[in-house]
Amino acid sequence: MSSQANSIAKQHEPSNSATMFDMFRQHYELIFAALSGIFILCGWLLEGGAVSITCYVLAFLIGGYAKAKEGILDTIEERELNVEMLMIFAAIGSAIIGYWAEGAILIFIFALSGALESYTMNKSQKEISALLALQPEEALLISNGYEKRVSIEQLQIDDIILIKPGERIPADGVISKGETNVDESAITGEPIPNEKSIGHEVFAGTVNMRGAIEVKITKPTDQTLFQKIIRLVQNAQSEKSPSQLFIERFEGTYVKSVLIVVGLMLFVPHFVLDWSWTETFYRAMILLVVASPCALVASITPATLSAISNGARHGILFKGGVHLERLSSLRAVAFDKTGTLTQGKPEVTDVKVREGAKVEEVLHIVASIENQSTHPLAEAIVKYSKHTYGLTLTKPEKLENITGFGVIGIVNGVQYKIGKADFVENDANDFAALASNLAKEGKTIVYVGDDQGVLGLIALKDILRTESVAAIRALNRLGIKTVLITGDNVQTAQAVARESGISEYYASCLPEMKVDVMKELKKKYDVVGMVGDGINDAPALATASVGIAMGEGTDVALETADVVLMKNDLSRLAQAIRLSKRMNVIVKQNIVFSLLVIALLICSNFLQFLALPFGVIGHEGSTILVILNGLRLLKANE
């Protein structure tokens, strides 16, 4: 037994080592940046000796490794200099004129911002893995009367596959045999399973809830609706925002301009202004240092991190500064319905009974029969009966499930029917006007009948979250348009929009339709946010200018989104937008200030007014000031 345990332990050792290596590989930039900061601190504490310089050199090498490697490789590949190369030159220049700490701090700030950017980018790969985990790898193929387990890649159009209760459907197709309920929340986001029988379409990634079914495949496995969701997420994430493209263009121009000016400073003043070679080189190195974008980087990173920390304290998770910045530009926000604006599960809202009947008696009968079912509507009725009326349920004498219509049960010798109107009795029309009004409110109607006709009806609804209306009003006050995009029917969408204060809605939307709607909204409003919580929302979240997920949503939605409301509190969305606006104001202040300081230092250096110590003080002082200004966001309430 001991040898077996040792063998198992040895088998796991490579796996653990591989895991540690993978963790290091994913986060090495952040680790190196932290080590660089530690060496800078050591160099500062030991200022004045060889050990101090050694610490700074280590800070240079370790902190600058990732960015230097990236800059050199990109320069070779694209044959164009970039900001990474400029930072390398500036650090070397500061070292040449004896300011090791200056160069090391320059490298540290740049390395830290790069590490945080890389960390955010790595996070975007996880949602694809989460999606793929929901796609079955094998299917039970029926061929010549025999069942055979095969890889989904082997499936062909018109093949017949068997899906047992509880299994995920591996491919899109049409039911050729059997009846069941299918949980399609992965596709539509709606919590109530749909009844399926022969001829009904089913989708890969959804769950067969009840009966065994045979499905005739209608699409190749790489063209299923679920695969389309995966591709939509991938495509949306690969698109660069306009701000990213602008920064890339600005980067090349800035680097070339600085290096050209520094190159001219190395020679022109000596011949034109009769400077000595020592003075010329000295001024060129100062220019390289003061023109480095250290203050510009510090203008954005500390303010962004402070705002992100502020948001985290209030239950708002930002996955990157770019998403936080973009929030302030939102002109419209689209909401999913189920689990976002609503609770995500049905609740009983109305119980109506015929004259002479009692509500408690009807609920006792219905709950006793429905207590045998796992259907969400049945569970909601049972819960309501127990918690609201404190009823003690009895076991029905007989129970029969009629697929597609409802159930028949016998309680105390009386037979009752529970389900759709035409299943209960033809005289359900007695309740037609009432049922019509309830349906207009987005409610699902369950009829109850006995041997005398319709006994009553029970209305259920996925009700709004308590904070939804206030959250919509807060957004409207900020001048932001609110839109509802749901997979539910038009009647329900209209009712939810009316109750929540949303004026624009789109109903019966599958995931790919949500993406189309989102693209139309972006054309109409330019910058559009999307709030959702389900797998079906992932493509729209990825397509939106800013994707916002509810904290209790699916893993895929959480990983795809740019912002997460950790406590499922929609009221935090308006707060996040106000925080974004405040951060952008501070960032603009910092950028203008840092550029003015750099311009002043460059002019002073050229006119020979600037001595090296004052150049360092001006450069580092401006950096410290913009950092302190950014840190004000830590104490901001909103």
pLDDT of 99-119, one tens digit each?
Answer: 787 778 778 877 776 676 565
Could you give the C-alpha distances from 281 to 256, 263, 370, 601, in angstroms and in order? 19, 10, 88, 16
- Listed in sequence order, the residues at least 6 apart from 83 whose beta carbon sits closer than 8 Å to its beta carbon are 71, 251, 254, 255, 293
pLDDT score of 126: 56
Per-residue DSSP letter, 108:
H
In sign, the C-alpha dihedral spanning 621, 627, 631, 633 is positive
Instruction: With beta carbons less than 8 A apart as the criterion, state whether 544 and 530 touch.
Output: yes
pLDDT score of 427: 55
- Listed in sequence order, the residues at least 6 apart from 38 whose beta carbon sits closer than 8 Å to its beta carbon are none
**Which tops the pLDDT comparison, 188 or 594?**
594
pLDDT score of 363: 93
**Predicted confidence (pLDDT) at residue 27 exceeds the cutoff of 60:** yes
pLDDT average, residue stretch 137-152: 88
pLDDT score of 573: 92
- Listed in sequence order, the residues at least 6 apart from 600 whose beta carbon sits closer than 8 Å to its beta carbon are 618
Q: Which of 172, 336, 462, 533 is catalytic?
A: 336
Q: Can 336 be counted among the known catalytic residues? A: yes
**Predicted confidence (pLDDT) at residue 243 exceeds the cutoff of 50:** no
pLDDT average, residue stretch 443-469: 87
Could you give the C-alpha distances from 29 to 19, 26, 88, 295, in angstroms and in order? 17, 8, 16, 21
pLDDT score of 581: 92
Instruction: With beta carbons less than 8 A apart as the criterion, state whether 115 and 30 touch.
Output: yes
Q: Mind listing the pLDDT tens digit for each residue in 586-609?
A: 888 988 898 888 888 888 877 777
pLDDT score of 620: 64
- Among 79-93, 273-287, 418-432, the range of highest mean pLDDT: 273-287
Cα Rg of the chain, angstroms: 32
Strands 563-565 and 546-550: parallel
pTM here is 0.63
Instruction: With beta carbons less than 8 A apart as the criterion, state whether 539 and 229 touch.
Output: yes
pLDDT score of 3: 41
Q: Point out the least confidently predicted range of 122-131, 365-374, 609-618.
A: 122-131
Q: Which residues of 157-172 are buried (b: 16+ CB within 10 A; e: fewer)?
A: eebebbbeeebbbbbb
Q: Mind listing the pLDDT tens digit for each residue in 211-235?
A: 899 999 998 888 776 676 666 555 5
d(CA 111, CA 343): 43
Q: Mind listing the pLDDT tens digit for each residue in 509-543?
A: 887 889 999 999 999 999 999 998 877 788 889 89
pLDDT score of 519: 92
**Predicted confidence (pLDDT) at residue 453 exceeds the cutoff of 60:** yes
**Which tops the pLDDT comparison, 26 or 258?**
258
pLDDT > 70: percent of the chain: 82
Instruction: With beta carbons less than 8 A apart as the criterion, state whether 197 and 175 touch.
Output: yes
pLDDT score of 110: 72
Instruction: With beta carbons less than 8 A apart as the criterion, state whether 537 and 561 touch.
Output: no
Give the model's confidence band at 636: pLDDT under 50 very low, under 70 low, under 90 confident, else very high.
low
Q: What is the mean pLDDT of the chain?
A: 80
d(CA 347, CA 459): 8
Could you give the C-alpha distances from 133 to 15, 69, 127, 130, in angstroms and in order? 21, 35, 10, 5
DSSP of 320-347: -HHHHHHHTT--EEEE-IIIIIB-SS-E
pLDDT score of 558: 72
pLDDT score of 489: 82
**Which tops the pLDDT comparison, 369 or 106?**
369
Which residue type sits at 629? N
pLDDT average, residue stretch 536-551: 87
Give the model's confidence band at 478: pLDDT under 50 very low, under 70 low, under 90 confident, else very high.
very high
pLDDT score of 430: 65
pLDDT score of 69: 84
Q: Mind listing the pLDDT tens digit for each residue in 297-318?
A: 667 777 777 787 788 778 788 8
Give the model's confidence band at 120: pLDDT under 50 very low, under 70 low, under 90 confident, else very high.
very low
